[in-house]
Amino acid sequence: MADVNRGNRPLSPHLQIYRKQLTSVTSILTRITGNGLIVAAVLIVWWLLAAATGPEYFAFADAVLRSWFGKLVFFGSIWAVWYHFLAGLRHLYYDSGRGLDIPTAEKLGWGVIIGSAVLTVLTVIIL
Amino acid sequence: MAYLTDRKRAEGLGSSKTGTEHFWHMQVSAVALAILVPVFIFTFGGILGAPYPEVLEYFGRPFPAIVTGLTLFVSFIHFKNGAQVAIEDYAHGLTRKALIIGVTCLCYACIAVGLFALVRLAL
């Protein structure tokens, strides 16, 4: 028994073999949005550094953030941050041991998707 | 033929022994960010696009400067811990170590640069 299947076992999470479900897709999206937010975060830090450096450098960084590229990143990031925000609240709720039955979990999944879209539209209107 | 038992081969692998603490820190920073992020979106969103003198004046005020500093600090620590879990799921061996160190250094650097900029803007 001691030398069967030595270290060549399948590794988790092994995403590709599972059928996609609302709960799994919304959970994977939490990770993707969270990691993707690094782009906007680094841009914000760079913009602050530019503002602290002087008017010429600020004008350059500000132009980049307000260009079509910057607008695209920030529009995407507004959705990503709201998605990650709602999905994070859902995870905190799950972690308390609640909402884990399938009908509730599915409802929470739709809540995260629809909620993030609504909050994104509201944020774009307000800002 | 190896004489080690299954248990002896498995010992020390897997658990990092600090998983519970890591999970707890993710929860604490998540709750902190649940409050900070909505405030930050409208603080930062309100000033992005304003002319330079207005930006200087804005971050000279305590509320925007403190909200920005706190959000940057807590969110980069939250990012570092969250990205580490993702790396641990998909990367192994030396790649895993290199990626975790890389992400950690990037987050520390961003915190340092962001706080330096805020101090310079505020003073």
The CATH classification number of B20-122 equals 1.20.1300.10
| CA distance to A14, A95, B90, B97, B113, per residue, from A105 (Å) | 22, 13, 26, 35, 40
User: How far apart (Å, rounded) are the C-alpha atoms in residues B114 and A41?
Assistant: 10
pLDDT for B21-49, tens place per residue? 899 999 999 999 999 999 999 999 999 99
Whether the per-residue pLDDT at A13 is higher than 90: the answer is: no
**Residue B79: band (very low, low, confident or very high) from pLDDT cuts 50, 70, 90:** very high
pLDDT for B60-76, tens place per residue? 999 999 999 999 999 99
What residue spans define the domains of chain B?
A: 20-122
- Which of A33, A45, A64 is the best residue to mutate to test the B interface, defined by the most B CB atoms within 10 Å of its own CB? A45
pLDDT for A53-65, tens place per residue? 999 999 999 999 9
Q: Give residue ranges of A with CB < 8 Å to any B CB.
A: 1-3, 6, 11-13, 31, 34-35, 37-38, 41-42, 44-49, 51-52, 55, 58-59, 62, 65-66, 74, 78, 81, 85, 88-89, 91-92, 95, 123, 126-127
- Which of B5, B75, B103 is the best residue to mutate to test the A interface, defined by the most A CB atoms within 10 Å of its own CB? B75
Facing B113 at nearest CB: one of A2, A31, A49: A49
User: How far apart (Å, rounded) are the C-alpha atoms in residues A33 and A82?
Assistant: 9
pTM (2 d.p.)? 0.88
Query: A67: which DSSP letter?
Result: S
pLDDT for A30-52, tens place per residue? 999 999 999 999 999 999 999 99
Q: Is the ipTM of this complex over 0.85?
A: yes
| CA distance to A34, B41, B69, per residue, from B64 (Å) | 23, 11, 8
Tokens 């990037």 identify what position?
B106
Whether the per-residue pLDDT at A14 is higher than 90: the answer is: no
User: How far apart (Å, rounded) are the C-alpha atoms in residues B59 and B68?
Assistant: 9
Would you state the CATH architecture of domain A20-36+68-126? Answer: Up-down Bundle (1.20)
pLDDT for A108-121, tens place per residue? 999 999 999 999 99
